[in-house]
């Protein structure tokens, strides 16, 4: 094979690899769903490593696990860069920069705080993945999609704030006591209970409390709305594009177009 043939085959190989990665990332076939489930399990394992960090720091296994996770996240970043339609699209994704921050903290654990809790954002991404929708459909819970997604959003925020409070204010404590204190403070603040037995010191602590209360209450109200409001189906109207309709809707409320919403048996 001459030089020209090699140059032609390289873009073709890259395109094939991009298509394969995109199918694994967004596909609904069994192999793609299994791969997405594996990624979700690894994300949860990384969060568990973050929580158990104080137990592992004194042992030699800590750095081994730390750098193994760093290598995995680096490989994920490379795979998502290849699968992205362009470099601009890849750099505009929030998860790209979140993973870059996590990677930096894992590569330099002695110089930087452990921000592995940011990996909880991957759980938020799972709530918008084919794995989430297909999993709910298979267990007969497709109608609960909005409720489950609102629960995931609230739990991700709760874990993110707990992780930030833990890393910034309680990470030096032994065992899981620091994480429990951070979780207790976050829940008390989000629910505006405010017992006052645990407070965050300084200006940063006050600002953290303010942000936790404002965003936490908003997500809590959103969760309550998703639970109590009447269930609707997501079916784009062919005429005007309105997505949310009543379960027994025959005509679109916006434009009057006749709908053909499939039922559970279709």
Please name the residue that has the structure tokens 């998502």: 80
In the predicted model, what is the mean pLDDT of residues 154-182? 79
Instruction: Give, in degrees to the nearest 5, the angle at Cα 106 between 111 and 84.
Output: 130
Predicted confidence at residue 265, as pLDDT, reads 47
**Does the pLDDT at position 123 exceed 50?**
yes
Domain limit, last residue, from 140, 164, 190: 140
The CATH number given to whatever domain includes residue 173 is 1.10.287.70
Report how far apart, in Å, the C-alpha atoms of 91 and of each of 12, 75, 151, 176, 185 are: 23, 16, 28, 35, 35
Are 223 and 245 found together in one domain? no
For residue 8, is pLDDT > 60? Answer: no
- Mark which of 85, 120, 140 sits at the end of a domain: 140
Q: Where are the alpha helices (DSSP H) in the chain?
A: 3-26, 30-51, 53-56, 61-83, 87-92, 94-107, 121-126, 130-138, 145-165, 177-190, 202-228
Are both 31 and 162 inside the same structural domain? no
**Are both 224 and 246 inside the same structural domain?**
no
Provide the pLDDT confidence category of residue 130 given band limits of 50, 70 and 90.
confident
Judge if 238 and 225 occupy the same domain.
no
134 and 163 belong to one structural domain: no
Same structural domain for residues 59 and 181? no
User: Are 218 and 251 members of one domain?
Assistant: no
Question: Is the pLDDT higher at 171 or at 93?
Answer: 93
Residues 116 and 177 in one domain: no
Last residue of a domain, one of 81, 113, 140: 140
The Cα angle at residue 131 between residues 144 and 224, in degrees rounded to 5: 25
Q: What percent of the chain has pLDDT over 70?
A: 77
**Residue pLDDT, tens place only, 186-244:** 888 888 777 777 888 888 888 888 888 888 888 777 777 766 665 666 777 877 777 77
Q: How many CB atoms lie within 10 A of CB 208?
A: 20
Q: Are residues 117 and 30 in the same domain?
A: yes
Note whether 1 and 12 are within 8 A (CB): no
Domain containing 266 equals: 233-266
What number of CA atoms fall less than 13 Å from residue 246's CA on the CB side?
7
The encoded tokens of residue 144 equal 């609960």
Greatest distance between any 2 Cα atoms in the chain: 75
**Claim to verify: residue 24 and residue 41 sit in the same structural domain:** yes
């Amino acid at each position: 094979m001459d030089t020209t043939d090699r140059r032609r085959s390289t873009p073709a190989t890259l395109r094939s690899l991009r298509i394969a990665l995109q199918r694994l990332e967004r596909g609904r076939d069994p192999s793609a769903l299994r791969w997405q489930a594996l990624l979700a399990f690894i994300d949860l394992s990384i969060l568990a490593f973050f929580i158990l960090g104080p137990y592992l720091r004194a042992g030699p296994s800590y750095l081994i696990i730390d750098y193994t996770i760093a290598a995995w996240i680096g490989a994920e970043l490379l795979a998502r860069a290849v699968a992205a339609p362009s470099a601009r699209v890849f750099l505009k994704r929030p998860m790209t920069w979140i993973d870059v921050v996590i990677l930096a903290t894992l590569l330099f654990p002695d110089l930087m705080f452990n921000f592995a809790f940011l990996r909880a954002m991957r759980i938020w991404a799972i709530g918008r993945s084919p794995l989430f929708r297909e999993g709910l459909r298979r267990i007969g819970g497709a109608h609960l999609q909005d409720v489950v997604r609102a629960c995931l959003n609230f739990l991700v925020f709760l874990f993110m704030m707990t992780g930030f409070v833990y890393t910034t204010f309680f990470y030096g404590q032994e065992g899981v006591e620091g994480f429990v204190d951070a979780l207790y403070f976050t829940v008390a603040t989000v629910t505006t209970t405010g017992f006052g037995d645990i407070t965050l010191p300084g200006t940063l602590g006050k600002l953290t409390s303010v942000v936790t209360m404002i965003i936490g209450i908003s997500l809590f109200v959103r969760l309550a709305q998703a639970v109590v409001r009447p269930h609707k189906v997501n079916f784009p109207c062919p005429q005007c594009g309105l997505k949310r309709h009543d379960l027994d809707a025959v005509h679109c409320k916006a434009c009057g177009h006749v709908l053909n919403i499939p039922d559970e048996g279709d």
